[in-house]
Structure 1
Amino acid sequence: MIKRILVVVLICITTSAFAQEGNSSPYSFYGLGLSNFRGSIENQAMGGISILGDSIHTNYRNPAGYAALKLTNFTIAGSHREINLETNTESGSNTSTTIDYISLAFPISKKLGVGFGLVPETSVDYEIIDGDDTSLSHYKGKGGVNRAFLAAGINLFKGFRIGAEGSYNFGNIRNEIIQADVDQQYSVRELDRSDVTGFTYNLGAQFETTYAERYKIYTSASFQPETSLTLSNERSLQSVIYSGVDQAVVGVIDSQDFNLADTKSIVPNTYSFGLGTGEINKWFAGGQVEFSETSKASNRSFNFANTSYEDSFKYRLGGYFVPDYNSITSYWGRVTYRLGARYEESGLLIENQSIDEFGISFGLGLPLGRGFSNANLTFEYGQRGTTNAGLVKEDFFKVGLSLSLNPLRPWFVPNKYN
């Protein structure tokens, strides 16, 4: 009981320090920011596929996976990104380090499992300076939307599971625009803030069946129905003293605040389907496709003639291999080796250019101690965007680490001795 209380305390402490920023991308300016990957570090290493039901890991993308849990699972994960940005005329680089998720999941019975946790859903993190010797525009943005979720999955009959997840989304987004001109005594700064709240839902199903005694076929499907988030908006217009040397505001001369009307941001219908096969406790390979009605999306407070949205598609391939999961002589024989690739059409169009993304990934599942706990490492290289039409292309390298901790028995099994 004390251990369970400590886990809850740790979750509460981590929540207070949860990082929203993390993508460090100019494309996070649009909408509610860049969407973060919703799955685990293990999923990311396999191109993002989430087809499997796992007895010791949490499936963040399909709530039906909670029904497969046999042991309590406490997980925390973080990642570090190195990003290079390039246009037709300039280049630059930046880095970011974030907490990716924290969760606790456990089986209630042999057929029912539940889980809850906290995940950063979107990230806003950019700074763009554009100008010459006579005028300058300085754009900055920070924030994002977090998602606190509660999920459950149930095994209806052998091999078939369904699940549901409810999430409360919350966070804020801050934008800053500074216009400076050598012919003007003071610069103009606009500060915009939106506080975001609202609920989203996710439904899922998984089915697996055995063939040829040692092999299985796995299928999965999930559906996130359309909902909307409420944005409470406010704006401040200021006359400021701007230092071109420091690239920062060094004084505020005058300020006027405005309470803007609340707005809605649509979270569109999203569908996902996956299919895979593998040898039990040995290897797995599969593919997954995701479709989202992002053509219904819009920018938060800004309307641009050169920006529009269309429906998005995401394609994922991946799998894993374990040389000998039960080896007592070779540690590396018990390691899980993962590999994957993905291609994503984000649905965002700027200057009629689709802002697409692709990545290739590799990962290791490293056993910890004598039980089922493990550390998971992921390495991913990817690209986002294009240099066409004066836009920005991003090359990034990501390292992710998760700790997946499992006790040696389910929490609901009572002690036989006092």
Structure 2
Amino acid sequence: MSIKFRLTLMSFLQFFVWGAWLITVGNYWFGTKQWSGEQFGAIFSTLGLSSIVMPALTGILADKWINAEKLYGILHIIGGLALCYIPQVENPTTFYYVIFLAMLCYMPTISLSNSVAYNILKNNNYDVVKVFPPIRVWGTVGFIAAMWITNLTGNKASSNMFYLSAFAAFALGLYSFSLPKCPPQKLIANDATFVEKFGLSAFKLFGTYKMALFFLFSMFLGGALQLTNMYGDVYLSEFSKVPEYANSFVVKYSTIIMSISQISETLFILAIPFFLKRFGIKQVMLLSMVAWVLRFGLLAFGNPIEGLWMIILSCIVYGMAFDFFNISGSLFVETTTDSKIRSSAQGLFMMMSNGFGAFFGGLVSGYVIDNFFTINGVRDWHNIWLTFSGYALVIAILFAIFFKHKHNPDEVANVSH
């Protein structure tokens, strides 16, 4: 097998592991187990907490002591064992700790998979900028494939989704040991300070008003990034409680409908260079925030029959909402920070958005839905989505007013996507 094919398979399985349960776990939680919404928010907060804690630790391990591909494989195998145990869990507290263990293992593998791919491609004299993006796209394909399999096999509310995910994790874990060796590259000096070892130098950026504001908005918008992953499939599935929608295509194949979001994501990536060149980083980030307003607002007014177009349009808009913020935010960090702390600054951006943002977003959304929008186990999805939409609108308005950044067309000239 060629190097490119082997890395494509790795990318496909990497996100297949996640896609098998991430979108549908709400159906298992609310439908099969009938546990509370507030506790469910805590489940998704484990993604954020793991993103805060683990990448720095695994980065140090891969930099100093262990081959990256071996560490990658070990983490997937341990995570797979945790996923295998989930169907045996009978109370939400234990579920939280088991899924937390699975996420502590899984979340750092996202960045590790990139590191492994970059290392192997460079060692085999490939142009990383040209070759890596098509490989990474197959990760999204893997995520979509897992969603479809979970839905089409009738397991969107079944514990089998965790077994499917675990099987892929074991397969990827074992497969990774066959990949070309990726020995430690950037050895950390023994006399390095704690701040240097953990890549915390970038925290001094909080001393700059503009960067502090950017990271603050990153955290607040990060709180919205996982909301439709958390609740989207549950929302569509619960239309089954309305007689006129009970047998609709949307209810039966809710996960497939939700997968339009991931398909859109792959397409909007192609449009990013044009939008960045034409409108600039601030306007593209603002477009992302407006897209989040539409994403939630369209779901608030959609339904499986006459309002189906709104649900589908919401899924299409998701691609702009998710990609435009992550890519343009990353580019802003790339073009405004010193090269000595740029990697750490990128890590800080991800920590604020996918770490702290996702952590607080999961906890707060669960609390708000359970205490203000749920009566006798029935969720008021219309007002839930309107509240989320209003939240995104407030962030967009404040960002437009307070965040100042002059558009420079040359910012994207040397950046590849």
TM-score, normalised relative to structure 2: 0.27
Q: Which has the higher helix share?
A: 2
Query: Which protein is bigger by CA-based radius of gyration?
Result: 1
Larger % of strand: which? 1
Question: Does 1 or 2 have the higher relative contact order (CA < 8 Å, sep 6+)?
Answer: 2
